[in-house]
Structure 1
Amino acid sequence: MFESTVTRFPDATALVFGDRATGYAELNARANQLARRFVALGIGPDTLVAVAVPRSDELITVLLAVLKAGGAYLPLDPTYPADRLAYMIADAEPVLFVRSSEVGLRADGTPEYVVDQPELQAERAREATEDLTDADRLAPLDAAHLMYVIYTSGSTGTPKGVAVPHAGVADMIATHAERIGPGPGDRVLQWASISFDAAFWDITLALLSGATLVMASADDVLPGDPLHETLRRHEITHATLPPVALSVTDSEGVLVNGTVMSTGDACTPTLVRKWAPGRRLFNGYGPTEVTVGSTFSGPVAPDDDEITIGIEWTGERVQVLDDRLDVTGGEGELYLSGPGIARGYLNRPGLTAVRFVPDPQGEPGSRMYRSGDRGSRRSDGELLFAGRADAQVKVRGFRVELGEVEAALTAHPGVGLAVATVEGDLADARVVAFVTPAAGQEVAPQELRQYVGRSLPEHMVPSMVTVLEHFPTTSNGKIDRAALRTPAATATAGHTGWHEGMSYDDALCAMVAELLGVPVVTPDQNFFEIGGHSVLATKLAGRIRQDLGVKVPIRSLFESTSLSELARAVEKAA
C-alpha cells in the first residue's frame, strides 16, 4: 500500500520533522535500504523487532523498514520507565533491538542495531534502493502475519502484549478513504505516543493516502499552548486527539475547515460545541485488541441530541450481546469482529481464550473480541457507549487497569493492602491510591510514588497515596471503595486560593493547590511529585499567564525542581 502511494506521488512531501522535509520517493528509498539490513540480520515474517527511537523522521523510516522486511514492530516509547520497557522486551523476546544512540535502554542478550551509528548509516547507503519483493525477504509475507505488538495495562498486575496482524489494514484504509478522504495537500499531525496504537492511525492516514505526516517533538505536542502553536505553525489539516487534549487546547484559528478525530475517551457536548464549528469532528471508538479502532461517528454537530460512537468501519462488525451471547435490543456488552481483530495476547493463551471467543453468529471458526465495554444500538444503527463492565478506566485517554496499579503498590515490602481509584474528570482525572502498611512497617506516600514510578508509566502513577490504618468495609466484609476519599477530595472547601498581592511563591502554591485539589502546597515541593502531570502543567501555565500576566515557557515547569524555582522563572519573565 505504501509503495503504491509512492508510485502515485513520488515527489510529494511524505514527512516533515523540524526543518527537514522528506519526499515519498526518498522515504521509500531510505526504508528499503534499512529493510535490506534487517533482512540480512534475520528479520522476516512473524519475527518481532523492538524499536526504541524518539519521535523523529528516523522513527518512521525504522517502522517502515521493519514492515518491509516482513517483520513486526514492538514500539518502545523512550519516555516510559526503563523497568517497564525492560519487561516488554523480556516478555516479547524480539529477535532484534533497534535504538538510537541517545536512548540508554539496553536489551541483554538481544542483538542490537543503533540506527544513527555512522558506520551503519554508511552500510545502509550502499544498499540497493529498489522496492523489496517476497523474493528479497526470508519468506513471503501475507496478511495473516504479525504487524505490531502493543502492550496495554493488565488487570493481573503486568502489561500484556496485543498481537495485531496485517489483515485489518485494508479495511482501515478503505474507511479512511470513504469517510475522511485524506490526500495530497493534507497535513496530518502524528500526535500519539508510538506505544499507543493511535500512532499507527496517524501514520497510515498520511502515508497511505499521499498526505504529509508532520512529526513534532514531545514538547511541541503537549496539550494546551504548545499543541495549539504546532497545529497553527504547521497548518495541520487532520489531527487525532483524546478529549483531555482537546479540552485544554484552544480551538481558535487551528484545523480551520480541517478534520479532528476525538478518541481514547468519551467525547462530551462541551468539546463538540468547542471543536465542531468550522471543521469536521469525528468521535472514534476501538480498543487496542483491534486494528486501532472499530467505529466512529460524524461529522458531529453541536446540536446533535446524542454523541454516539457511530457505525462500524468498512468490513468490521460490532454486536451488542447479552450474558448468553444473544443479540439484545437493549444495553449489552460490545463484541468486536472482522479482519481487524488481533490474534490475541502474546504468550498468554489462557487470557486470549477468555477474551477472544467463538462468534456464534459468524462463519465456522470465526472469533470475536469481548471488549468489556457496555453499549446499545439505536434504531438508525448508530452505537451508544455506556461505560465499562469491569475495573478498567481511562485516564487522559490512556487505558488503565487499576489492578496493575494495586499490584505495583503491594509489591513494596511495606504495603499490606492497596486500592487504586480515579478522582477528577477529563483533564483533571488522576489515579489515587490508598494503602495499609504491612505488619510492623511504616511507609511514606512519596516513597511509594517513587517506587511504582520505576515500573508504571507516568499516567498510571498515583498522584496521591493515602496511608490508612485499615480500610472501611461493607456489610459483607469487602473493602468499601465508595467510602474511600483522599484528603484532596474533602479538604479543599476552605481553600482561599490565589489573590493579588501574593508573592510569586505563595501565588504558585495557591494555584497548584487548586489545580491538584490539595489543601496545602509548599514552595519546596515539586509539581510533578505531588500529582502534577503534563496536561495539568499546561493548565498551570495558562493560570500563570491569566492571573499573573506572565508567559513562561512550558519547559520551565518541567525543568524546575521546586515551585520556588519555578517562581524565580516567573519573576524573571515578568
Structure 2
Amino acid sequence: MPANPFEDPDESYLVLCNGRGQRSLWPARLPVPAGWPVELPATSRARARAHVEQVWPDVRPHAPATSATSATSAASAGETLPALFERIAAKHADLPAVESASTSLTYGQLADLVNRLARRLIADGLGPGDLVGISVPRGTDQVVAALAVTTAGAGYVPLDPGYPTALLRHMAADSGLRTLLHTGPVPVDVTGLRTVDLAAPDPDPDAEDRPAVPVADAQRRRPLRADDTAYVIYTSGSAGTPKGVVIPHAGMAALAEAQQHWIAPGPGDRVLQWASFNFDAGFWDLTLALLSGATLVLTDDRAVLPGEELRRTLIDRRISHAVLPPVALTATDPDGVLPGGVVLSTGDSCTPALVARWAPGRRMFNGYGPTEMTVGVTMAGPVRPGEPVSIGEPWPGNEVRVLDVDLQPCQYGEEGELYLVGEGEALGYLNRPALTAERFVADPYGAPGSRMYRSGDLGYLDKDGPLYFTGRADRQVKLRGFRVELGEVEAALESCAEVRLGAVVVTGEVDSARLVAFVVPGTDRSEGLAEELRGVLAARLPAHMVPSRIEVVATLPMTSNGKIDRRVLAERAAGSLPAGESGASPAGPVDLSDPVAALCALAARVLEVPEIAPDDNFFDRGGHSVLAVRLAKAVRDEWKMNLPVRAVFERPTMAELGGLITPA
C-alpha cells in the first residue's frame, strides 16, 4: 500500500495560501506548486494545523461578488442549479416532473411551487451564504424544499427525521442553521433555530400574491454565484465527529453533461429516487430526472428495500432508470425489471458477478466518486459480462491523477492514490479548516493556485485508458453503500463510561458485510454490557454505523509495535460466526407448528447471534434493512412461506411476526 506524503506527523510541513484565500498543508520536502506562496515556513504538522485553524475560519464565501473576486475564480462564471432547472422546466412545462403514490406534478407546477417557496425564504432574509435545514420525508415536499432553498440562493442541509436526535442536534448546531424546513414533528431542538412547517398554511397574509415566475438575481440578497454553496452533506469522520462537505454550484453543469454523455435520460424516462437525500446519491437521482425532462418517481422508504420490495417497485412503477449500490443489486432479482432501461451501480465496488446478472437486457454503468466531488467523478460503461469492471473515465471538466508518495504520476498498471480535480470539487469541510487544508491540497499539475482532492482511494490507470479502483489507503470502509470511518465508531464506543478500549472491524462481503466491535471494559462488569453499548451507540450514530455485534474481551491483540492487531480481530470476527452464516444455508428440518420458535432460530442465524428471544427486537439485536430482507428471503426459500419485509419493520419481534407468516 503506498505511503502518503500528508500523513506523517513527524514530517515538516509548510502552510501555503493561494490568491483565493484557500490554504494547503504541504510537505516541506516537496517543491512548492505554482501559485501557492508560503504563508508559514516549515514546522510540525500539529503547528501547521493550528495555524490554519486560526487564520481560516470557514470555507464558505460570504463577501459580495466584486470584479476582483470574480477574476480570481473561474467558477464564478459557471451555471447554478436554479438556472439549469429553470431552463428544463420552461422547455418541458407540461411534462410530468415528479410522481409519488398520491401526487403528480408537471414541470410547470413544480417550478411554481419552488419559486413561491423560494420567495418566502428570501422574504425571511435567507440567501447566498446561508444554510437551511431540510427534515422532510421522501416525497414531493422534499424535492420542492431542496430546489427552493437553492433557488433562494442558500444551501440546504438534509437532516433525516429517522436519525438519532443527538446526531441531528450536532449537524444543526455545527452548520449554524437559522431555519429548518420540516413536515410533522420538529426532529431537533436547537437554540435560535426558526422552524417552518411546510404542511401548515403560510402565515403571511400576502402569501397568495407571491409570483410563481422564476426568481431573478435582483430579487435575491445578492447575485447567486457558482462558487456559492448548493448543499452540505455530512459524512463519517475519522476523528469521531461527522463532517459537513460543502458543495458549490460550480459542478452542476458538468454533472448534467456527464449524465447526458453516458446515460442520456430525457422525456418519457422514469427515474427512481432510491437514495436518501442524506447522501449525495439522492442528489444524483434528483438531477438525473429533473435536469433532463424525465420523471422522478418517489416512494416511501419501505418500497425501495433491497429484495422483493424493490423489485416490485421497479416493475409496478415502470422504472426505466435506477441508481443502485451493489448491496441492493446483490439482494434483488433482476428478472423482469428495467427492460431495455438503465442501471447504474455506485457507492461500492461493482463485481463481475453483478455485471453478469444485471447487464443483460439493459444498459449497465459503474460510477465512482466521493461526496467531495459533487456526487461523482468517473463513469464506466455500458459494462458487459466477461469484461474487467473498471471505474471508467473522468466526467467532462474533471480529472483523476494517480500519484505516488512523491506526488509523481504512476506508470500504467502501478498502484497509487487517486487525486481528484475539476469543476465538481467541494469547497471543503464546514468549520474544519485544518482538515480541509490536509485533504484539498495544492495541485502541482494544474493552473497556478489550483487544488486537488486527496481521496484516500487507491487505484491504477490501465494502458488502454480506464481507471481501476483497488481499495483504501486508510480505515474508511464502504458498508452496504454507506461511507463509514471506523475511527468514528471507535471514538463513540470509547466515549462510553464503561469502555476502556474499543476496536471495530468489518466482516463479510457486500450484502453480508457488517461491523463487529471488540471492547475492553473499564470495570469488572461484562454481563449485559454489549447490548447496553449497542443502545447507547444507536442513540448517537446512524443505524448503518452501529455494530451488529459487540464482544466484551479482557484484552485486545497487539502487533509488535504496540498497535491493535486488527487483522487478528477480523479473523476472530469471521471465525466466530455461528454455523450457517448469514442464514444462507438451511439448518435442517424446521417444526413450523411453533412459528415463533422457528423464527427465533432463523433470526439468530441471520443475525449471527447465539439466540434470540420471542420478545427481542430484530433491530436492537443488530438487524438492519438488508438483514430484514434476508430474513424474509430465508422464510421463502427454506420454508416455502411468505413473510413481508415491511412487517419486519412494523412488528420487529418474533412474537409479533410469527402470526404473519403465510403459505407461499
Same fold (TM over 0.5): yes
Partner in structure 2 of residue 419 of structure 1: 503
Q: Aligned with 2:600: secondary structure?
A: helix
Structure 1 CA distance, aligned partners of 2:600 and 2:261?
51
1:474 aligned onto 2:559? yes
Contact 1:320 1:334 in 2 (8 A): yes
Q: Counterpart amino acid of 2:587?
A: G
1:137 Cα deviation after fit: 0.7
Partner in structure 2 of residue 164 of structure 1: 247
Structure 1 CA distance, aligned partners of 2:195 and 2:579?
55
Question: Alignment partner for residue 324 of structure 1, among 391, 406, 411?
Answer: 406
Partner in structure 2 of residue 490 of structure 1: 576
**Mind listing any 5+ residue stretches in structure 1 that lack a counterpart?**
none
Distance 1:310 1:123, change over 3 A: farther
Partner in structure 2 of residue 96 of structure 1: 179
1:390 aligned onto 2:474? yes
1:341 aligned onto 2:431? no
Q: Aligned with 1:529: secondary structure?
A: coil
Deviations 1:349-407 (A, max 9, x none): 10000000000000001000000000000012100000000000010000000000001
Q: Counterpart amino acid of 1:387?
A: G
Partner in structure 2 of residue 569 of structure 1: 660
Q: Aligned with 1:528: secondary structure?
A: coil
1:101-116 equivalent positions in 2, closer than 5 A: 101-116=184-199
Q: Counterpart amino acid of 2:402?
A: V
Partner in structure 1 of residue 390 of structure 2: 308
Q: Aligned with 1:507: secondary structure?
A: helix
Contact 2:98 2:298 in 1 (8 A): yes
1:62 aligned onto 2:149? no
Structure 1 CA distance, aligned partners of 2:437 and 2:111?
39
Distance 1:513 1:121, change over 3 A: farther
Structure 1 CA distance, aligned partners of 2:398 and 2:558?
44
1:440 Cα deviation after fit: 5.0
Contact 2:458 2:471 in 1 (8 A): yes
Structure 2 CA distance, aligned partners of 1:144 and 1:6?
23
Q: Counterpart amino acid of 2:636?
A: R
The alignment covers a number of residue pairs equal to: 572
Partner in structure 2 of residue 35 of structure 1: 118
Distance 1:284 1:120, change over 3 A: farther
Partner in structure 1 of residue 60 of structure 2: none
1:158-197 equivalent positions in 2, closer than 5 A: 158-197=241-280
Structure 2 CA distance, aligned partners of 1:494 and 1:318?
43
Question: Alignment partner for residue 602 of structure 2, among 488, 511, 514?
Answer: 511
Deviations 1:279-308 (A, max 9, x none): 01100100011110000100000121x100
1:543 Cα deviation after fit: 1.5
Structure 2 CA distance, aligned partners of 1:167 and 1:433?
40
Structure 2 CA distance, aligned partners of 1:493 and 1:184?
51
Partner in structure 1 of residue 44 of structure 2: none
Q: Counterpart amino acid of 1:237?
A: S
Q: Counterpart amino acid of 2:451?
A: R
Partner in structure 1 of residue 539 of structure 2: 454
1:212-227 equivalent positions in 2, closer than 5 A: 212-227=295-310
Partner in structure 2 of residue 529 of structure 1: 620
Partner in structure 1 of residue 283 of structure 2: 200
Partner in structure 1 of residue 88 of structure 2: 5
1:123 Cα deviation after fit: 5.6
Structure 1 CA distance, aligned partners of 2:365 and 2:608?
32
Contact 1:151 1:162 in 2 (8 A): yes
Structure 1 CA distance, aligned partners of 2:245 and 2:648?
35
Structure 2 CA distance, aligned partners of 1:478 and 1:487?
18
Structure 2 CA distance, aligned partners of 1:271 and 1:55?
28
Distance 1:489 1:565, change over 3 A: farther
Q: Counterpart amino acid of 1:253?
A: G
1:317 Cα deviation after fit: 0.4
1:265 aligned onto 2:265? no
Contact 2:98 2:296 in 1 (8 A): yes
Question: Alignment partner for residue 611 of structure 2, among 520, 526, 543?
Answer: 520
Deviations 1:410-443 (A, max 9, x none): 1110000000111111001111100001145556
Name which of structure 1's ranges 111-120 and 162-171 shifts more when overlaid on structure 2: 111-120
Structure 2 CA distance, aligned partners of 1:166 and 1:430?
35
Structure 2 CA distance, aligned partners of 1:354 and 1:206?
35
Distance 1:38 1:434, change over 3 A: same
1:277 aligned onto 2:367? no
Contact 2:97 2:294 in 1 (8 A): yes
1:487 Cα deviation after fit: 6.5
Name which of structure 1's ranges 444-453 and 121-130 shifts more when overlaid on structure 2: 121-130
Contact 1:315 1:339 in 2 (8 A): yes
Partner in structure 1 of residue 7 of structure 2: none
Partner in structure 1 of residue 64 of structure 2: none
1:103 Cα deviation after fit: 4.4
1:540 aligned onto 2:626? no
Structure 2 CA distance, aligned partners of 1:284 and 1:512?
34
Q: Aligned with 1:84: secondary structure?
A: helix
Q: Counterpart amino acid of 1:2?
A: F
Partner in structure 1 of residue 55 of structure 2: none
1:95 Cα deviation after fit: 2.3
**Mind listing any 5+ residue stretches in structure 2 that lack a counterpart?**
1-83
Contact 2:135 2:187 in 1 (8 A): no
Structure 2 CA distance, aligned partners of 1:56 and 1:122?
27
1:7 Cα deviation after fit: 1.4
Q: Counterpart amino acid of 2:514?
A: R
Q: Aligned with 1:530: secondary structure?
A: coil
Q: Counterpart amino acid of 2:589?
A: H
1:143 Cα deviation after fit: 0.5
Partner in structure 2 of residue 554 of structure 1: 645
1:47 aligned onto 2:125? no
Contact 1:115 1:121 in 2 (8 A): no
1:120 Cα deviation after fit: 4.2
1:531 Cα deviation after fit: 1.6
Matched residues, percent identical?
Answer: 49
1:74 aligned onto 2:139? no
1:126 Cα deviation after fit: 3.3
1:129 aligned onto 2:220? no
1:492 Cα deviation after fit: 2.0
Q: TM-score, normalised by structure 1?
A: 0.97
Contact 2:254 2:396 in 1 (8 A): yes
Partner in structure 2 of residue 499 of structure 1: 589
Deviations 1:137-169 (A, max 9, x none): 111001111110000000000000000100001
Structure 2 CA distance, aligned partners of 1:426 and 1:419?
21
Contact 1:488 1:519 in 2 (8 A): no
Structure 1 CA distance, aligned partners of 2:255 and 2:653?
46
Structure 2 CA distance, aligned partners of 1:103 and 1:508?
37
1:96 Cα deviation after fit: 1.3
Partner in structure 1 of residue 27 of structure 2: none
Distance 1:40 1:535, change over 3 A: same
Partner in structure 2 of residue 381 of structure 1: 465
Q: Aligned with 1:107: secondary structure?
A: coil
Q: Counterpart amino acid of 2:86?
A: E
1:358 aligned onto 2:442? yes
